[in-house]
Each structure stands twice: as structure tokens, then as C-alpha cells.
Chain A
Amino acid sequence: MVFSSLFFLYIFLPATLIIYYIAPGLRLKNIVLTIASIIFYAWGEPLWVVLLFISACVDYTNGRIIGKYRGRWQAKASFICSVVINLSLLGSFKYGNFIIENLNALLGTSIPYTGLTLPIGISFYTFQTMSYSIDVYKGEAKVQKSFADFLLFVSLFPQLVAGPILRYSEIEAQLSNRQTTLKGFAYGVTRFLIGLGKKVLLSNYSSAVVSKLFEQSGALSELTVLQSWLGMIMYAFHIYFDFSGYSDMAIGLGYMFGFTYSENFDHPYMSKSITEFWRRWHISLGSFFRDYVYIPLGGNRRYQLRNMLIVWALTGLWHGASWNFVLWGLYFFVFLALEKYVYGSLLKKLPGIVSTATTFLIVLFGWVLFYFTDLADVGQMFANLFGAGGIPLIDTESRLQLTNNILLLALCIIGSSTIPAKIGKAVLRNAEMRGLKGAISFASLAVTNTALLALCTVSLVGSTHNPFIYFRF
């Protein structure tokens, strides 16, 4: 199931909330939430829900063993076992075909493909369960004795399929002791609606522009320079609003059930350097690689460059089983290294707008590597962006496309700046206050929330507009 569907919004969510709040006691509430989460997952992945169980069982058991035999070889064996099993799950489901493809190409063999499809969210929950075993092994988290609570940690539906990647240590206490407050719930509602708005009102439309330009209108070489820029910029906004909107919704839903997740995005497109960008983009993934790969490798104390190289190649690969993602990771490695060793200090002296614009451009070119899995397409797109090989700047079609999307573009630019967050924070703060200012803030909050819900519903219904023309195929 996805958050941005009518079924989730009008059936699953209210039903889950009602049953959750009717259920007496946290124990029962947790069970309700676990069942709801499993239904949520199984809705889209009825078969591979099994993997989720396997992953949960493996790490629960390993956690218990590590706790029991702390400091002895059994603990170490369990720890290794957890890492191996989780990485093998990920390896076979996500990278199986990729590995086979490359082996075949390299050795001239013809190993058949696995035929496995990528189970939803596997990259997220295997990391979550693995982090638990590692934390327990390192003594940074306590052993979870209750399988029910552990299963809840693994399956918790708000962040299950697209993050943020939860760290067991940050959620541990909340599993057995958490409070739902009116304030928290109201904040959760607001946060969820903001996320929904990002996804439905910005990301979906941006994505439609991208697919219209890059997938439905013939060869890339036939695009104009304007179309290429428009497409790439809309893609940058699509991926940002999609992902950060999802995180917002997850955080908001978490609040509704009394959980506090940490933030996952912090206006990444406003960053003044690539280093800063990666502190603001998909924060939970960055910190995962930092804590479980970079620091164990030696961090900045030894072989820093090598460590960075490994981390960024892996970060790239995590995003998808294809070489272009590795290239994308390494692309950032280059800029991060350059900022660290070459021009980092120079960057700080630049006016803010220049460094922000430069950073955005670097990220934008990065999305070219990210979007096009075929390297020939990557080359063509760069040629397009720079107008190489006599590619026309503009034509009627691209002018019309720019006009059609100009308001969307403006909304996306404003939406990705810090302005709405600043206003939002002030409104939220003031909405609690007495007096006229408080009343106005509260009223605008209520109106914004209602409008977001209404507009998202209209758009979700509208997106199913599917005129019957000919369907017999």
C-alpha cells in the first residue's frame, strides 16, 4: 500500500487509528499496530512478507544469542550471522541479477537470471534489523526480549517501505513506553498532510512532466536544450518532494501513534556545498553508512580517502543495482574529496547565492547519472543540456511545456526553499498562543490542513482519470 492512495487515506488509516485507540493498554495497541503494519506490507507484497518475518526472526534470535553469550565466540558468530544473512537477502533479491549479469559479461558464462523481483522496502528493513544486531553486539543497545516488540520495530508501517531508516536505539524506549498527546497528534496530522501535499501536489505532477519529456516523446536526441533542462529540473524536484514527502508522512504518522522519528531531510537544495547537501539529504542513510561503514573502516583517522571511496560507492549501489548508481555515488565522492582537500575553504568565501546555485547544479548533473541507467543516454543528456551537436535551444513544443508548467515550477522552487518551513514553524508556535495573533495562526493552520486534504483528494481522484478509448488489448 502507498500513503498517497485513496484506499490508504480513507480506509486503512482511519480504521487503524480507530482500532489502535480503542485497544486498551500499550501491549494491545502494539499488537494492533503490528497487524496493521503487516497488512500494509502484505497489501503490496503478499508473498515477500515472508522475508520480513525471516529478517525479524533472524535478528531477534541473533540479538538474544549475542546478549546471552556477550564477549564470547557465540556472540561474534551470531553477529556475523546476522550481517551475512541480511546482506545475502539484500544481495540475492536486489543485486542477484546484477551480479549474474556482470559475471556473465566478464567470464562469458551464461548463468540464468534469478527471476526474483525486488521486494518493497527490502533495502530499508534489512538495514534496520542489521543495525539492531550490530548495536547489540557493540553494547549500544539492549537486547529486545519480546519478539512482538521486535517485530513491531521491524514492521512499523509508517517508515517500512521508504524510510527514514530507523535505528533501534532511537526507538527502543518508545516500543514499550510512549505517550500520545493531543499536541503530538495534531502535529502528526499537520506533518502528514504536508508530506501528502508534497507527494501528491508537487512530486506526482513533476514526475508526469519528466516522463512526458524523457519517456513518451521519442529519442532523447530529439529534445531541445530547454526541454532537457526542464526535464532534469522537474526530476530533481520530483525525487526530492517524493522522498521528503514520504519522510514527512512517515514522521507525521509516527506522531499519530506516539512515535518520534528523527528528521530525514533538511532543505537539501539550499545547501552551499556538497558536504552540506549530504548532511541534509536522506540523513538516516548517510548516518547509517557513517556509523556502520565509515567509522569502523577508520573514519577520518586513517585512510580517509579510501574510506570515503568505499562509503560512496556503496551509497550509490544502495540506490539500485546498476552501474550508473555506483557512478552516481563516486561522482559525489569526487566533489566531497575536492571540497575537503582542495576548494572547501574557497567555497565558504563565495556569496551564498553562488554557492547554493553551484551546489544545486552539481546535484542536478548527478541526477542525470541517477535517472538514466543506460550510459549512452547519460552522454546524450549531457550533450542536450549543453546544446552540443546542434541541438536546438527552443521550439514551440518546449515553449508550451515551459508555460504549462511554469506555476508548478514556481511552487517547487518555493517549496524546496526554507521559506515555507520558517512560516510553518512560526504558525505552529503561534497557534498555541492567546490573542489575535494566536487565533489567526490557528485559523490559517486549520485552513491549510483542510485545503491540503481536499486538494490531495481531488488530485488523487483526478489522477485516475482514465478515459475509455479502446481497451481490448
Chain B
Amino acid sequence: MTEETITLEVTRYRPGHDREPRTESFSVPYRKDWVVLDALNHIKDRVDGSLTYRWSCRMGVCGSCGMMVNGVPKLTCSAFLRDYHPGPIRVEPLANFPVIRDLVVALDDFMEKLRRVKPWLIRETERPVSEGEYRQTPAQLDAYKQFSMCINCMLCYAACPVYGLEPAFLGPAAIALAYRYNLDSRDEGYRVREPIVSDSVGVWECTFVGECSVVCPKGVDPAAAIQRSKVAGAKDWALSVLMPWGGRK
């Protein structure tokens, strides 16, 4: 009995060799419990060892294996072959990022933007260790917990047409991360992050397409973080105009 197969149409790109990416078709066993990552691993193990892609945990927590599957940004470890049956399945590198090789994209821009929003607790006054921990009630944790679930998989950047059209845009994940820290009761860095978040290439570049939240595998809802940051930023601006003498948080 011959095993059923499914076809994967995978982007190949060799730097310095290919001028443009091209598509190569591979036939892989169709197994009901396989994900696209399993198919890619099969290709690399048995068919073409030069196929290059990123992956790690294979269980949807590390954010390494993000790729375009039939034009949709997905974690390939969470994209089951049976959902694409009978195929063919188009596997392309994550959209809106420069391609290094095959399915591997350059992360530098994203990394720089994550750093730019200062994703750490900023205190105006540090408390001495002798005073003990910064305590937080469950309600205070709930305020920001959703936005802390980001695994930096960059699917939201691939889904965001604004980032595709304007690479200077800070982007959904970075703004959601800034929002997460601004909401943290232990943090006092709202004013420090404000010029970065409320910049013209910060929240105000976003036009609330909303696809970032649709593709997010962790339910972070970066679109909500961005729009709420816009409300906070607009409120601040209005207060600064009406009461320019300060006295704000």
C-alpha cells in the first residue's frame, strides 16, 4: 500500500547565487499528526539537506518557526498538514522581512525595535533590597498579563501591511511590549517610553487593520495595545495643551 503524499511548494533562495527566490516542489508523506515543520524536517533529512529554516521547540512557545503558509503567517509547528489537505501547501519566508536564505529572514530590525521601547522595569527611585520584593496583587497582574505572552515570533509584523509599506513603523509586538511595561504596577517608565511610542512611526503609523491580532498565536492582541496607547497618548497631548504647567504622572 503506497502512502498518501502531499506536495509542499517551498521558496528557495541562495544568496550570491540566485537573483530572486524561486519555488521548489517536494512530495512528503501525508500523516494526520504531522505539521508543516515535520514536513520540512522530512525534506531536510531525506530529500534535500540544503533546505534552510529556523525552528526550535516545535510546540508553539519559542517563536522561531514563523513562515508564510499559503500566504498566511503561521508557526509551522502549529500548522497541521490535515488542515491543508489535499494541498499543495505553499511555504514562503515570513513576509515584510529581508530574506537571508531559503526560509530564513533577517531579524535585526525587529530586535532593534524591541530594544528601543526599553522592555524592562524602569524605576524613578530604586528601592533597597532590604525593603523586600515589589508586591503585586492578582488584579495588578491581570492588567498586563495578556500583553506579556508575546513570544516574539514576528507573525504580527508579517501580517501588518503598514510595516510592509513603511519599514520604519515600530510595529505591533514592540508597542505591545511597551504597553505591557507601562501597565505593570511596578514600572515608573511611562514618560521615558512616551517619545518612542507616541512617535509618528510609533502608534500613530498604525491604521488599525487588525490583522496582527488575528495571526497572533498567543492571543496577545497587539492591535488593542496600540489603540489603547493611542488613547493614552492623545489624552496626554490634550492635557499638555490644557495644563502645560505639568503635574502629570
Do A and B interact with each other, yes or no? Answer: no
B residues whose Cβ falls under 8 Å from a Cβ of A: none
A residues whose Cβ falls under 8 Å from a Cβ of B: none
